[in-house]
């Protein structure tokens, strides 16, 4: 970050985290009257106003938001920016949805102007929802990744993205080859990984659309670049699981295919993880690979119910994703809403504190970015949001009756969406303000 911004302080309620609220007493910290101090795009301090007011010099600009809540910006760990315009496309499950809507839609990203246009709109949507970092799939076209990174760089956002790899079982017009996918990904890593706030993710779409040769090549790139991210889908749908068993005979499980090719490790993020077994969960926990739970998508496509209890028992890193266009909302608040209901269906209770943690500091920790984003700790990048408890008449009435910070936050998770996001800041600068 090259910008030099003078010191600004924001006074509001504050939500910060010291650890996973599910396992750490006092993991979530709620400050009734808090102060966040930011300078040159980074957090200087965050805590009680009474403790930090002495740091307000004459030069400090003070922004007051009485009654509002400042929290770290949301992290969406699984989304497809090219699917923005095809959100809410009805189909009888994942595989017909891919054939009918997804592949034809992704074809149009061969046009760089179209890709640039959708990338801008996508970022507008994320910021309106309070999402400051996303792990996004692009399409098979390398230019679709350039378009996303260029748009993100211009707004100084921290985004993780990658060109999709797929060299079989998809229309001819969307295919790369093991060699071209390797070369294009290597060039994109050289061009974008760690350039400013941009980070690259190797993106084999899912095992069925890659030949063993392509997965082998992807694993080789992953070994060359241990700090590059990896993103794919696993065990989302029962027909898909059967298909993988046919395509890759001799593997213990679907997840084992990825492990075989060296794609299970820290910074590897797998969407869905619904139909895993206990051995799979143990392998994810041991390797540090992350499950991205995408409840709005899983319900919309009828994929199944993610098992929070088993994930917790296995000690497997978990974060939340919207999975738009399979998912039905860009809002991480709406994603929490449906995550809560899915957890209830499997006998697990997700508190509001934990859902906010999963969408911020917990996601950052799972991604190995805990000192950088998802936190208001001094030195972190100042990506944060301002939530409005009076965003709608109903939210105002419910939050007014809340008996505890937990209940107050829970109302946001159940009733909130982009309307609840008053402002979104990226690297200390306002990137969105609600109309
Ligand atoms: N599996 C392979 N591709 C996709 C995709 O685009 N969306 C979802 N939800 N699952 C997938
Ligand atoms: Zn997906």
362 found inside a domain: no
Asked if residues 374 and 360 have their Cβ atoms less than 8 Å apart, the reply is yes
First-to-last C-alpha distance (Å) of the chain = 28
- The enclosing domain of 225 has a CATH number of 3.20.20.140
Distance from Cα 325 to the centre of ligand 1, integer Å: 9
**Alpha-carbon distance 173 to 176, whole Å?**
9
Total domain count for the chain? Answer: 2
pTM for the predicted model, two decimal places: 0.98
Only one residue has tokens 């095809």, namely 86
Task: List CB contacts of 31: < 8 A, sequence separation 6 or more.
Answer: 13, 14, 15, 16, 47, 48, 49
207 found inside a domain: yes
- Judged by its nearest atom, the ligand closest to the C-alpha of residue 170 is 1
User: How confident is the model over 52-70, as a mean pLDDT?
Assistant: 95
Residue 144 in contact with ligand 1 by CB distance below 6 A: no
List, in sequence order, every beta strand (DSSP E) within 83-240: 131-137, 159-162, 164-165, 198-204, 229-234
Of the residues 312, 335, 350, the one at which a domain ends:
350
- Residue 4 buriedness (CB in 10 A; 0-12 / 13-18 / 19+): exposed
* pLDDT value at residue 4: 62
Asked if residues 165 and 186 have their Cβ atoms less than 8 Å apart, the reply is no
356 found inside a domain: no
Q: Helix or strand or coil: residue 1?
A: coil
pLDDT tens readout for residues 137-179:
999 999 999 999 999 999 999 999 999 999 999 999 999 999 9
Cβ neighbour number for residue 346 with a 10 Å cutoff: 12
Residues 157 and 46 reside in one and the same domain? no
Q: Whose CA is nearest to atom 3 of ligand 1?
A: 205
Residues 285 and 232 reside in one and the same domain? yes
Residue 326 in contact with ligand 1 by CB distance below 6 A: yes
Q: DSSP code of 418?
A: G
pLDDT tens readout for residues 281-296:
999 999 999 999 999 9
Tally: H helices and E strands in the chain? 17, 16
367 found inside a domain: no
325 found inside a domain: yes
Give Cα separations from 237 to 92, 100, 132 (angstroms). Answer: 12, 17, 29
Residue 17 in contact with ligand 1 by CB distance below 6 A: no
Of the residues 334, 350, 366, the one at which a domain ends:
350
Asked if residues 153 and 2 have their Cβ atoms less than 8 Å apart, the reply is no
Q: Whose CA is nearest to atom 9 of ligand 1?
A: 326
* pLDDT value at residue 5: 73
What is the β-pairing status of strands 8-17 and 290-293? unpaired
Residues 162 and 246 reside in one and the same domain? yes
Distance from Cα 79 to the centre of ligand 2, integer Å: 6
- Judged by its nearest atom, the ligand closest to the C-alpha of residue 298 is 1
Pocket test for ligand 1, best of 321, 323, 324, 325 (most atoms within 8 A of CB): 323
Give Cα separations from 366 to 15, 16, 152, 378 (angstroms). Answer: 19, 17, 22, 20
Residues 157 and 268 reside in one and the same domain? yes
Of the residues 350, 384, 411, the one at which a domain ends:
350
Residue 102 in contact with ligand 1 by CB distance below 6 A: yes
Residue 233 in contact with ligand 1 by CB distance below 6 A: yes
Residues 52 and 84 reside in one and the same domain? no
Residue 338 in contact with ligand 1 by CB distance below 6 A: no
Task: List CB contacts of 317: < 8 A, sequence separation 6 or more.
Answer: 284, 285, 288, 289, 290, 291, 365, 366
Q: Longest C-alpha distance within the chain, in Å? A: 69
30 found inside a domain: yes
- The enclosing domain of 427 has a CATH number of 2.30.40.10
**Alpha-carbon distance 196 to 190, whole Å?**
13
**Alpha-carbon distance 409 to 389, whole Å?**
9
Residues 255 and 225 reside in one and the same domain? yes
Residue 272 in contact with ligand 1 by CB distance below 6 A: no
Residues 10 and 158 reside in one and the same domain? no
Q: DSSP code of 299?
A: H
pLDDT tens readout for residues 80-93:
999 999 999 999 99
Residue 78 in contact with ligand 1 by CB distance below 6 A: no
32 found inside a domain: yes
| 130 pLDDT above the threshold of 70 | yes
- Closest ligand 1 atom number to CA of residue 294: 9
Q: Please name the residue ranges forming H helices in 155-307.
A: 178-192, 212-224, 238-247, 254-260, 278-287, 295-300
**Within its chain, how far is the Cα of 242 from the centroid?**
28
Residues 150 and 290 reside in one and the same domain? yes
**Which among 197, 227, 214, 260 has a CA at the least distance from the CA of 41?**
197
pLDDT tens readout for residues 235-274:
999 999 999 999 999 999 999 999 999 999 999 999 999 9
Residues 232 and 117 reside in one and the same domain? yes
**Alpha-carbon distance 73 to 52, whole Å?**
22
Pocket test for ligand 1, best of 78, 82, 105, 205 (most atoms within 8 A of CB): 205
Asked if residues 231 and 366 have their Cβ atoms less than 8 Å apart, the reply is no
Residue 419: give the domain boundaries: 4-72+375-433
Residues 16 and 57 reside in one and the same domain? yes
Residue 297 in contact with ligand 1 by CB distance below 6 A: yes
Only one residue has tokens 């699981």, namely 241
364 found inside a domain: no
Residues above pLDDT 90, as percent of the chain: 98
- What are the structure tokens assigned to 197, written together? 């706030």
Residues 59 and 184 reside in one and the same domain? no
| 371 pLDDT above the threshold of 60 | yes
Residue 106 in contact with ligand 1 by CB distance below 6 A: no
* pLDDT value at residue 255: 98
Q: Whose CA is nearest to atom 7 of ligand 1?
A: 326
Residues 119 and 234 reside in one and the same domain? yes
């Amino acid at each position: 970050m090259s910008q030099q911004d003078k010191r600004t302080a924001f006074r509001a309620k504050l939500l910060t985290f010291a650890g996973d609220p599910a396992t750490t007493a006092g993991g979530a910290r709620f400050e009734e009257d808090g102060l966040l101090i930011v300078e040159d795009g980074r957090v200087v301090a965050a805590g009680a106003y009474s403790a930090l007011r002495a740091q307000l010099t004459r030069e400090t600009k003070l922004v007051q938001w009485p009654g509002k809540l400042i929290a770290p910006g949301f992290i969406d760990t699984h989304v497809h920016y090219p699917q923005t315009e095809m959100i809410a496309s009805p189909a009888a499950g994942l595989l017909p949805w891919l054939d009918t809507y997804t592949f034809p839609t992704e074809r149009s990203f061969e046009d760089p102007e179209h890709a640039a246009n959708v990338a801008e709109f996508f970022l507008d949507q994320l910021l309106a929802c309070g999402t400051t970092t996303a792990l996004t799939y692009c399409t098979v076209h390398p230019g679709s990744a350039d378009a996303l990174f260029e748009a993100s760089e211009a707004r100084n956002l921290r985004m993780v993205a990658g060109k999709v790899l797929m060299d079989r079982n998809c229309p001819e017009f969307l295919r790369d080859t093991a060699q071209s996918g390797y070369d294009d990904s290597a060039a994109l890593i050289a061009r974008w990984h760690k350039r400013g706030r941009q980070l690259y993710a190797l993106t084999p779409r899912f095992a069925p659309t890659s030949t063993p040769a392509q997965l082998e090549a992807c694993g080789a790139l992953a070994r060359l670049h241990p700090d590059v991210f990896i993103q794919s889908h696993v065990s989302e749908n029962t027909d898909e699981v059967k298909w993988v068993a046919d395509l890759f005979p001799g593997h213990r499980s679907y997840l084992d295919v990825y492990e075989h090719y060296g794609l299970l490790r820290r910074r590897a993020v797998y969407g869905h993880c619904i139909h895993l077994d206990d051995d799979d969960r143990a392998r994810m926990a041991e390797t540090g690979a992350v499950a991205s739970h995408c409840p709005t998508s899983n319900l919309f496509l009828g994929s199944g119910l993610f098992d929070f209890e088993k994930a917790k028992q296995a000690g497997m890193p978990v974060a939340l994703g919207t999975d738009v266009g399979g998912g039905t909302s860009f809002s991480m608040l709406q994603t929490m809403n449906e995550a809560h209901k899915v957890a209830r269906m499997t006998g697990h209770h997700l508190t509001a504190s934990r859902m906010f943690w999963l969408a911020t500091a917990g996601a950052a920790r799972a991604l190995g970015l805990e000192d950088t984003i998802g936190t208001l700790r001094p030195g972190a990048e100042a990506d944060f949001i301002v939530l409005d408890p009076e965003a709608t008449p109903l939210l105002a009435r419910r939050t007014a009756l809340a008996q505890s910070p937990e209940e107050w936050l829970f109302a946001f998770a159940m009733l909130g969406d982009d309307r609840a996001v008053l402002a979104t800041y990226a690297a200390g600068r306002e990137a969105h303000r609600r109309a």
